[in-house]
Amino acid sequence: MISLPSSLLDNPRNRVGYVLDKCQVCHGVAMLVDVASLYTMYQLEDNAQLLGATEWNMRDVRLSVGNGTDVTLFASINTGWDFFNRDDTIRIATPKWKRHLLNLMEHTLVQGIWTKEKLLERYHQVGPYELMSLAGEPIPVGFNHAKGEVTVAGGELFFPNIQGPDGMVHISNQLPLPISVTKTIYDIANDDPNYSTQILYIDSLRLSSDLRRLLPMTALYANNTVFDNVVTPLTDIAEKVLKNHMFAELLWCDTLIEMAGNGTVMSLNQRNWTISVENGFPCFTAENPIEGVGKACVSKCDILARNGIVHLMDYRLEYEVAETAPPGESGTLVGGGTFTGNNGGGGGGGNPNTPFVRPTGEDDSEVSFGTGKQSGAASASFGAASATTLLFLYAILS
């Protein structure tokens, strides 16, 4: 019988406080969470399960993550995991979603020893501040004035300063959440005005809910400037623009690079794209491209999102040469049924990166990637043009 050197067993589930084990040194910070989930009243089963799924060294996480020095782990009881449903928890523990899991658990760790007293002292010195997690994202540190307690990611540290040989554990009632589980492939682009053109296309077809829900997905977003003066018929927005940039699988950059010159990937519109490599990044070219169609290369890889991954692109994906309008016509309703990209200065409500503006208060048809059916009326206002109601059918993913 071996007694672990930790106050974690002051509240033992087995009412004894001893743990059977074959080794003398099993009390690293990750192992302490596992022990607590098994032998104390603290409900840490979710945290312990996913820590184990990382396949890190549970006795010394310094050997698996960080710079090799001590770490501080913010572990949450099960209520702090209520953001996840059962399917989320099962999915993220599978091999396909392993990178999301590692990112999530790295976001519960910070480099160095941060005792509760040190956290509180710094708050009194500088006010609200942030700790940088091992996932490279900030964890907010604040203060609950009603309770007079320091908070981390909004959670109370009700069992702090549990010491292990590789660092320290704080048990909290709130899990620090990284972007990989709070933002979807839609949200990633929606939060960045540089990609508002594709977002406006998505919003015009009422597809944002699908792109927040469907998984697994890989989304490619190109800067607004590559859509300057591009004329897109309303009936082609889904088929020739949006679905070119969506893939029903997790296509990591390293996977794409390995595929270069060997096979193709298929986008949601059943178009095949060959992969090449340029400056260390994968590039997409339409299979059997016609003259004038170029390639689009990834400029930033593997942005994790709750339902997939996002790659940022240096150009738009196309399998036929896009029609363009003269700069003077940018931002206007062209030909009774086209969206025209705005290269600046023209219409689009005064926003140089807005290809069109949909008037508020008017109903648009609802489109779903999942149903494969769409009909109805849509309304739009294009720069100087008055609001015009257009009746049309969208070709949507079957």
Q: Of 249, 252, 180, which Cα lies nearest the Cα of 215? A: 249
> What pLDDT is stored for residue 339 in this prediction?
53
> What pLDDT is stored for residue 328 in this prediction?
55
Written as six digits, the tokens of 188 are: 């990633």
Written as six digits, the tokens of 319 are: 């399998």
Reading phi first (left if > 0) and then psi (alpha if -120 to 50, else beta), residue 293 is in beta
CA dist 218 and 260 (Å) reads: 18
Strands 155-164 and 167-172: antiparallel
Written as six digits, the tokens of 301 are: 């890889």
Q: What HEC string does 359-382 produce? A: CCCCCCCCCCCCCCCCCEEEEEEC
> What pLDDT is stored for residue 33 in this prediction?
94
Q: State in Å, rounded, how far the first CA of the chain is from the last one.
A: 62
**H or E stretch including 169?**
strand 167-172
Burial of 326 (0-12, 13-18, 19+ CB in 10 A): exposed
In the chain, the amino acid numbered 25 is V
CA dist 31 and 51 (Å) reads: 9
Written as six digits, the tokens of 108 are: 């519960």
List all residues 6 or more positions away from 177 whose beta carbon is below 8 Å from its beta carbon: 83, 104, 107, 153
Written as six digits, the tokens of 171 are: 């048990």
> What pLDDT is stored for residue 102 in this prediction?
97
> What pLDDT is stored for residue 327 in this prediction?
64
Average pLDDT, consecutive stretches of 10 residues, N- to C-terminus, the chain (398 residues):
46 45 64 91 93 94 97 96 87 94 98 98 97 98 95 95 94 96 97 96 92 95 92 86 96 96 93 96 93 92 97 95 69 43 38 38 42 30 24 29
- Kindly compute the dihedral angle of the four CA atoms of residues 330, 334, 339, 344, in this order, to the nearest 10 degrees: 10
CA dist 181 and 99 (Å) reads: 12
- List alpha helices for the chain, DSSP H: 29-39, 45-53, 86-92, 98-106, 116-126, 179-182, 185-190, 196-204, 208-213, 253-259
Contact 380, 368 (CB under 8 A): no
DSSP notation for 300-323 = EEEEEETTEEEEEESS---SSPPE
Domains and CATH numbers, the chain: 7-177 (2.30.180.10), 183-392 (2.30.180.10)
Q: Of 208, 209, 213, which Cα lies nearest the Cα of 307? A: 213
pLDDT tens-digit series, residues 31-65: 999 999 998 888 999 999 999 999 999 999 999 99
Cis ω before 216 (30° cut-off from 0)? yes
CA dist 278 and 176 (Å) reads: 37
> What pLDDT is stored for residue 309 in this prediction?
98
What pTM did the predictor assign? Answer: 0.79
